[in-house]
Structure 1
Amino acid sequence: MKLITKFILIYLSVTVFVLGIGGVISYYIIKGEVDKELKFEFMERIDRVTYLLEQGRTFYPRREIEGDQNLVVRELDYPVANRVEVTDTLIWHDRLEQDEQNVKVSAYRNINGSPYYISTYGAMIESNDITEAVIKTLLWIIGLQILGAAGIGFFVSGRLFKPFRKTLDRIRNFDLHQKEILYAEETNVKEFTDLNNFVEQMTRKAVSDYKNLKEFSENASHELQTPLAIAKGKLELLTESDLSEEQYQYVESLERSIKKLTRLSESLSLLTKIENHEFSNNQKVNLSHLISESIEEFREFVIFNKLKIETRIEEDVTIQMHPALAEILWTNLFQNAIKHNIENGIIWVELTRDKLTIANTGKPLSVDPAQLFERFRKDEQSSSSIGLGLSIIERIAEQSKLDIDYRNENDRHIVEINLNHVKTT
């Protein structure tokens, strides 16, 4: 829902609520004024009857006085104190065929030594007429409010919110890799100016942090490779010298650690580049060709590990993806299927235009499959794996807008990638 639409709905809701309360108040105010006028008129009638009685006029229990049928004059047989009572009463209305509320004024008077009861009633304006008038007035006001709100929403807001929409478009099109700061633009609305200033500060900081992080990761990766290469070379020279069996085992252990550290450095560097979106998905990759070639390249390695491969690959399945990421994604998947397999195990590969599935036999998992996508998370912490393979796969899938699912069923490790979210042919 747009901001202006929400504002209009809130405005109209408050308007209807306030006008509803105002309508009730207006009804009682109008009715009170009408009743007050009626009381004055009825008191004049009573004073007139009193005057006529004082002049010796005689009335029957109910007597018409100059066309007034809503008058009761009755002589009482018991003494009374002079007083006036004003009440509401229901009187049958012949035309409407229902009881209508009327104002009744009753007076007890001592006239020429005799007690009298004088009563009159009536309604200058009926209650339903007041209600109808108030409702009509409120409906006109609400109608005008709706027209005014719609006019503000669809005409005035176009110009009023133009700076906000412009800032929103600039944020939407902001690309961190271009390292361009969104400089603040002055507007005639303080809140929009504050927003633009905040956006400038945030983009300035984001660009600065991105540059620093990128330089650090590149420098760290580069600086690590040199001492690792030197250490590796020294160890190779050391193995050529006369070493005892125990010393040779120490050297082999160091070589394995250096290889693991090298893989760790390369993997962390790759993860950083992926998370910094340094790869663009602007190329078509023939996934069928890539997978088929890769399987052939790993054929000897698969045979060496006493594994069997079963494939079902559709031809010419292409995907919009960076070629390097596509190769890294498949290579990590395939190497995991080999590395975490069992002796005389099987690897299943299936590629369709909708999904890529790779499964392998293996030991049951001891952890939740979702946790294996976390960095440095491994099923067996003592294994030689550095625990970044599935993290890299997940980051590549996220950047390439691929849905990835990993599960363990019947001693099978299954990774399924949905290809429907990206352009395929």
Structure 2
Amino acid sequence: MKLITRFILIYLIITVIVLGIGGVISYFIIKDEIDRELTWEFMERIDRVTYLLEHGRRFHPRRNVDGDRNLVVHQLEYPVEERIEVGDTLIYSDRLEQSEQNVKVSAYRNIDGRSYYISTYGAMIEPDDITEAVIKTLLWILGMQIIGAIGVGFLVSGRLFKPFRETLNKIANFKLQKKEYVPAEKTGVKEFNDLNRFVEEMTRKAVSDYKNLKEFAENASHELQTPLAIAKGKLELLTETPLTEEQYKYVESLEKSVKKLSRLSESLALLTKIENHEFENNESINLSDVIKESLEAFREFIALNNLTVETEIEDDVHINMHPVLADILWTNLFQNAIRHNVENGKIRIHLEERKLVIANTGEDPEVNPDQLFERFRKAEQSSESIGLGLSIIKRIVDQNHLSIVYTYSDNWHRIEIRLK
């Protein structure tokens, strides 16, 4: 839900609550005011009759005054205490042919030694009529409030929130690889200015950290390769010199460690590049051809390890991915199947439009299968693997919005990648 929509809904909910409370209050105020006005009007009638009586006017007993059906004056035969009584009464209406509620004001007066009863009444506005009038008024007000709220909402959304939307678009399009921070633009709203300044500071720091990290990773990888290459060359020369069997084993072990360290450096540098999204120019890759070409290139290596490869590859299976990442993805998958296989083992490759499955025979994994995609996690802790192959595969899969599942059953390791 958009911010302006939520704002309008909250505003309308509060408006309905306020109008509801206001309607109840208005009902009682209007009713009280009408009753008060009717009472004052009837009191004026009584005062007028009293004045006429004081000036010698005589009224026929128990007769309406001057044809006024709502005014009755008659003389009492006994003295009374002067008082005024206000109450409701039911009077039959010829026009409506039913009894209607009326306000009745009665007065007892002593004038020139005579006692009089003066009574007047009139139809009062019924509560239902007041309620109907109040509801109609409130509905009109609510209707205008809704129209006004929607109008203001479009105005606010279109103009006031324009800088906010522009900032969101800049954040959405921000890419570290461009090494450009999002500059803060001034607006007429303090909160938006604060937001833009924060975004500028955040992106400026992110770009700076990215540059430093990228330079460190590249420099570390480059600087490590040189001494490693020298050490490797020296070790190769050393193997050509007369050595005892024990010395030769030490040199061979050291040479393996140097090679492993070299692979580790290259893999970490590659993993850093993948996580920094340096491979984003995706294109349609024929995965079928990539796999077939790779199998041809690894033919001798497969034979050297006495492995049998069974394939079921559909033609022209395409994925949208950076070419380098596609090659790294498959190479790591296939090398992983070879490295963690057994003597005279098997590899099965199945590729179709929606999935890629590669399975290989192998020993039981020594760690939880769910942890194998983490860095430096290996199925066999004693193996020469550096533990980054599956981690690199997982990063490539995640970056391209694919899914990967690893399972182990009946001495078979199985990795399935959902392509669509």
TM-score between the two structures when normalised by the length of structure 1: 0.83
What is the aligned partner in structure 2 of residue 168 from structure 1? Answer: 168
Greater Cα offset, 35-44 or 268-277: 35-44
**How far apart are the structure 2 equivalents of 1:245 and 1:88?**
125
Q: Is the 8 A contact 2:312 2:349 kept in 1?
A: yes
| Superposition map of 1:108-119 within 5 A | none
| Superposition map of 1:81-100 within 5 A | none
**How far apart are the structure 2 equivalents of 1:47 and 1:81?**
17
Per-residue CA shift, 1:133-163, capped at 9, x if unaligned? Answer: 1112112112222222222223453222222
What is the aligned partner in structure 1 of residue 147 from structure 2? Answer: 147
Q: Is the 8 A contact 1:71 1:121 kept in 2?
A: no
**How far apart are the structure 1 equivalents of 2:85 and 2:412?**
95
Report the residue type matching 1:348 in the other structure: R
Aligned-partner SS, 1:386:
coil
Answer yes or no: is 1:206 the counterpart of 2:210: no
Answer yes or no: is 1:397 the counterpart of 2:397: yes
Q: Taking structure 1 as reference, are residues 109 and 372 closer, same or farther at Cα in structure 2, changes over 3 Å only?
A: farther
**How far apart are the structure 2 equivalents of 1:378 and 1:70?**
107
Greater Cα offset, 387-396 or 405-414: 405-414
Answer yes or no: is 1:354 the counterpart of 2:354: yes
**How far apart are the structure 2 equivalents of 1:266 and 1:98?**
101
**How far apart are the structure 1 equivalents of 2:209 and 2:219?**
15
Q: Is the 8 A contact 1:288 1:318 kept in 2?
A: yes
Aligned-partner SS, 1:353:
coil
Per-residue CA shift, 1:238-261, capped at 9, x if unaligned? Answer: 333343333333323222222221
**How far apart are the structure 2 equivalents of 1:231 and 1:345?**
35
What is the aligned partner in structure 2 of residue 423 from structure 1? Answer: none
Report the residue type matching 1:373 in the other structure: F
Q: Is the 8 A contact 1:288 1:317 kept in 2?
A: yes
Q: Taking structure 1 as reference, are residues 118 and 235 closer, same or farther at Cα in structure 2, changes over 3 Å only?
A: farther
Deviation at 1:24, TM superposition (A): 1.4
Aligned-partner SS, 2:372:
helix
Q: Taking structure 1 as reference, are residues 148 and 334 closer, same or farther at Cα in structure 2, changes over 3 Å only?
A: same
Report the residue type matching 2:222 in the other structure: H
Q: Taking structure 1 as reference, are residues 365 and 73 closer, same or farther at Cα in structure 2, changes over 3 Å only?
A: farther
Answer yes or no: is 1:37 the counterpart of 2:52: no
Q: Is the 8 A contact 1:76 1:117 kept in 2?
A: no
What is the aligned partner in structure 2 of residue 13 from structure 1? Answer: 13
Per-residue CA shift, 1:188-241, capped at 9, x if unaligned? Answer: 222222222222212211111111111100001011112222222232333333
Q: Taking structure 1 as reference, are residues 157 and 70 closer, same or farther at Cα in structure 2, changes over 3 Å only?
A: farther
Q: Taking structure 1 as reference, are residues 243 and 87 closer, same or farther at Cα in structure 2, changes over 3 Å only?
A: farther
Per-residue CA shift, 1:56-89, capped at 9, x if unaligned? Answer: 97967xx766544698999999x99876665667
What is the aligned partner in structure 1 of residue 231 from structure 2? Answer: 231
Answer yes or no: is 1:333 the counterpart of 2:333: yes
Per-residue CA shift, 1:24-76, capped at 9, x if unaligned? Answer: 1111111111122233345556778889999997967xx76654469899999
Report the residue type matching 1:191 in the other structure: E
Aligned-partner SS, 1:284:
strand
Q: Is the 8 A contact 1:281 1:400 kept in 2?
A: no
The answer for unaligned runs of 5 or more in structure 1 is 421-425
What is the aligned partner in structure 1 of residue 286 from structure 2? Answer: 286
**How far apart are the structure 1 equivalents of 2:377 and 2:88?**
84
Deviation at 1:366, TM superposition (A): 5.1
**How far apart are the structure 1 equivalents of 2:181 and 2:64?**
93
**How far apart are the structure 2 equivalents of 1:407 and 1:291?**
22
What is the aligned partner in structure 2 of residue 130 from structure 1? Answer: 130
**How far apart are the structure 1 equivalents of 2:73 and 2:310?**
110
Answer yes or no: is 1:318 the counterpart of 2:318: yes
Deviation at 1:313, TM superposition (A): 0.8
Q: How many residues align?
A: 417
| Superposition map of 1:171-190 within 5 A | 171-190=171-190
Aligned-partner SS, 2:279:
coil
What is the aligned partner in structure 1 of residue 261 from structure 2? Answer: 261
Greater Cα offset, 85-94 or 204-213: 85-94
Aligned-partner SS, 2:353:
coil
Report the residue type matching 1:407 in the other structure: T
Q: Is the 8 A contact 2:103 2:124 kept in 1?
A: no
Deviation at 1:388, TM superposition (A): 1.0
**How far apart are the structure 2 equivalents of 1:213 and 1:102?**
90
Greater Cα offset, 216-225 or 274-283: 274-283
Q: Is the 8 A contact 1:378 1:385 kept in 2?
A: yes
Report the residue type matching 1:293 in the other structure: E
Q: Taking structure 1 as reference, are residues 251 and 116 closer, same or farther at Cα in structure 2, changes over 3 Å only?
A: farther
**How far apart are the structure 2 equivalents of 1:6 and 1:144?**
19
The answer for unaligned runs of 5 or more in structure 2 is none
Q: Is the 8 A contact 1:70 1:122 kept in 2?
A: no
Per-residue CA shift, 1:104-134, capped at 9, x if unaligned? Answer: 6677889999999988765432212211111
User: Percent identity of the aligned residues?
Assistant: 70
What is the Cα-based RMSD across aligned positions, in Å?
Answer: 3.6
Deviation at 1:389, TM superposition (A): 0.9
Greater Cα offset, 118-127 or 190-199: 118-127
Q: Taking structure 1 as reference, are residues 407 and 281 closer, same or farther at Cα in structure 2, changes over 3 Å only?
A: farther
TM-score between the two structures when normalised by the length of structure 2: 0.84
Deviation at 1:17, TM superposition (A): 1.8
**How far apart are the structure 1 equivalents of 2:91 and 2:248?**
119
Deviation at 1:304, TM superposition (A): 3.5
